[in-house]
Amino acid sequence: MLGAGLTFLFCLGAAGLGGAVFGRLLRDLDKAAAWGLSGMLGLGLVGWATLPIGLLPGGLRWGFWVVAAAGVAGIALAVLRLRAGELRIAKPEGLHWAFAGALALAFLFALVGVLGPSDAQDWDSLAYHLAVPKLWLAEGRITWIPYIHHSNFPFAIDNLYVWGLSWGGQSGAKAFSLAYSAFGAAALFGLARARYGASAGWWAALAFLAMPAALWESGTAYIDAAHGLWAGLGILFAAGAISEPDRRNRLWLAAICLGFAAASKYTGLQAVAAAGLGIALIGAASRRFGSGLKAAVVAGSAALAICAPWLIKNAVWTGNPVYPFFYETFGGKSWSEFHARIYRNEQQTFGVVRTDSRLDWLQFPHAVLGLAYQPGRYVNPGQSEGLGMPTGALGAAVLAAGLLWLVSGRARLFEGSALLIVGLCFVLWFGLSQQSRYAMNMGVPLCVLLGGGVVRLRAGPMLAGLAALQAVYALWLVHGATVRPKLPVALGQVSEDDYLSRAVPFYEASKAINETAAGGKVALYDEVFGWFLDAPYVWANPGHSTLIPYDRLDTGGQFAAELRRQGFTHVYVSWAVDRGSPFRRWDPREGRFGFDDREAAYADPEQKWKVLLAEALESGDARPLAVFRSGLLASL
């Protein structure tokens, strides 16, 4: 609780910093929008500045005091703004109290996720969003982690977790996600209120938290909700720049928001491209925006400049500015065509079924609607079978808002511009990777259009009803996924240790590894939750990196010798996900593991390690130490 409280206090300071630095750009915005943007811009600045600080020797150690001092100064600035009356919010009236109550309940639900420990459902939080900052803190600086390629992603949001972990552990880090959602909801409320009226503002804020992915992620270390807010607000400001050319701050706000989107996730580059194309096309056609192409180049260049430090760092460290993507074009250190193929194939398992890896563009409408009615194919794990978690879905309400505006005939230049850019984003999303989380940047601008649609369109009452049902469903969903299991832990009724022992298969083994492998180094197979380990570890599966030369290893003895040469002292192999793992089937009479087809596994580059490890264990080059419900631990 204390760690989350410190983060929320720091986020107040971020709002003060953001307002001080960007105040002139925010001056003519609705007060709620200005405060929401102040908070987001302040957090964006801190996350951005963490990269150069962290790259310096010991930067994450002495940088803690720099960031803390900036937070204190920002709090003082925020208090001065509050005392000057810059945030006077009128009390809700009438039915608006129902919106305030629903939003408060949504934030409380997300807070439970912040205070409770992340579990196996919160996969990416444990795999790398929290694990990478933890590794960097141990090093005292930002370093290249060759076996976690995600560490090369733009990290303007994840970098905040470095500081949250420093002062508040896991809850201190995840609280940044909730703060981003709070600031974003305020910004959407203010933008919709200024354009369509107070009621539209409430509907827009509710629509954001009614997206299951946004509400669930607000209590995790996933960054898609925050990233979607950056990209979505950038799209809204781009549409505002087109429809209100006399307000030049809209173009700069679009550039800054899109820049922070690209600085937090590669998919932000898609939003930059879509917004730039939209500005160029509509701006030129409307003849109200001067040179649309010039404006697009200016905004795009500014956005790219914001994310450039990550692109430059990657180019220097790996030879690929967007590592590990587009390996065929740029190449990349500790990567290969084999790794690129595995990664590409995994990305293409989402969404509509591909035939021979070819995409049928006639299924585009199916994909857009699928985000609402068939979320299982757009959310992992189990996306190929349609078994993905519904907490990653975008939901029906915002998609309906976009469709209704599209067919209403009442869209003006602002709505038309926003819909065009959102449509371009959908085309890019459909062609690259159809993960519903990646569609959050389209969902955010549709939240404002939903608010406007409720009060402006003939189908407004129907849209309002759908949004209300979507909000109830999202609350019910997150209650089951987060509140019910984690509230006892957050309240101290159940210990974190007991909860994790039940909820995370690897947790029991991780405690033993921390004792057994202290001072050593662990090779993890089919297990990525190194967050729980204090000992150094490596994701050792062939698809993660080229650190272990599996193509040059022919026997279990060679395999064990190579691991020892690289400093490994222990091997852990999980069968929690692979129920058919041969390491679950040990035949003590023959002293062998039960492969279905050992020769076929050896010939498969993705499976060869299983044969090598089995041979090492069978020959005594590796020694089994313990068997857990999740896997096998061995020493070298």
DSSP 553-575: --SHHHHHHHHHHTT--EEEEE-
Instruction: Tally the domains of the chain.
Output: 2
Q: How confident is the model at residue 38 (pLDDT cuts 50, 70, 90)?
A: very high
- Residue written as tokens 């953001």? 18
Contact 136, 143 (CB under 8 A): yes
Q: Where do runs of H (alpha helix) occur along 433-543?
A: 440-456, 460-478, 484-490, 496-503, 505-516
- Here the tokens at position 192 are 């919709």
Q: Work out whether strand 586-587 and strand 592-593 pair parallel, antiparallel, or are unpaired.
A: antiparallel
Residue 495 lies in a domain: no
Q: Is the pTM higher than 0.85?
A: yes
Residue 333 lies in a domain: yes
Sign of CA dihedral 552, 556, 557, 562: positive
Residue 74 lies in a domain: yes
* Cα–Cα distance measured from residue 498 to residue 6, given in angstroms and rounded to the nearest whole number: 26
**Same domain for 221 and 88:** yes
Please work out, in degrees rounded to the nearest 5, the angle formed at the alpha carbon of residue 222 by the alpha carbons of 165 and 307: 85
**Same domain for 83 and 160:** yes
- Identify how many contiguous H helices and E strands the chain contains and give both numbers: 26, 7
**Same domain for 587 and 470:** no
Residue 209 lies in a domain: yes
- Is residue 288 predicted with pLDDT exceeding 60? no
Buried b (16+ CB within 10 A) or exposed e, 417-435: bbbbbbebbbebbbebbbb
**Same domain for 41 and 138:** yes
Residue 319 lies in a domain: yes
**Same domain for 514 and 454:** no
Give the number of other Cβ atoms within 10 Å of residue 580's Cβ.
Answer: 9
> Which pLDDT value is given to residue 203?
97
**Same domain for 430 and 513:** no
Peptide bond into 92 cis (omega under 30): no
**Same domain for 592 and 456:** no
* Single residue among 488, 519, 548 that ends a domain in this structure: 488
**Same domain for 540 and 450:** no
* Single residue among 464, 488, 512 that ends a domain in this structure: 488
Give the number of other Cβ atoms within 10 Å of residue 587's Cβ.
Answer: 9
Residue 456 lies in a domain: yes
Query: Residue 523: phi, psi to the nearest 5?
Result: -95, 120
In this predicted model, what pLDDT tens digit does every residue of 529-568 receive, in sequence order? Answer: 999 999 999 999 998 999 999 999 999 999 999 999 999 9
Give the number of other Cβ atoms within 10 Å of residue 493's Cβ.
Answer: 8
DSSP-assigned letters across all residues of 286-336: HTSSS-HHHHHHHHHHHHHHHHHHHHHHHHHHHS-TTTTS-HHHH--TT--
Structural domain of residue 522, as residue ranges? Answer: 504-635
Residue 313 lies in a domain: yes
Q: How confident is the model at residue 579 (pLDDT cuts 50, 70, 90)?
A: confident
**Same domain for 577 and 468:** no
Which range of 224-238, 273-287, 581-595 scores highest in mean pLDDT? It is 224-238
**Same domain for 484 and 512:** no
* Cα–Cα distance measured from residue 519 to residue 442, given in angstroms and rounded to the nearest whole number: 47
**Same domain for 242 and 323:** yes
* Cα–Cα distance measured from residue 399 to residue 380, given in angstroms and rounded to the nearest whole number: 21
DSSP 8-state assignment for residue 594: -
Residue 498 lies in a domain: no
- Here the tokens at position 201 are 């503002």
> Which pLDDT value is given to residue 88?
67
Average confidence (pLDDT) over 439-462: 95
**Same domain for 229 and 357:** yes
* Single residue among 488, 520, 555 that ends a domain in this structure: 488
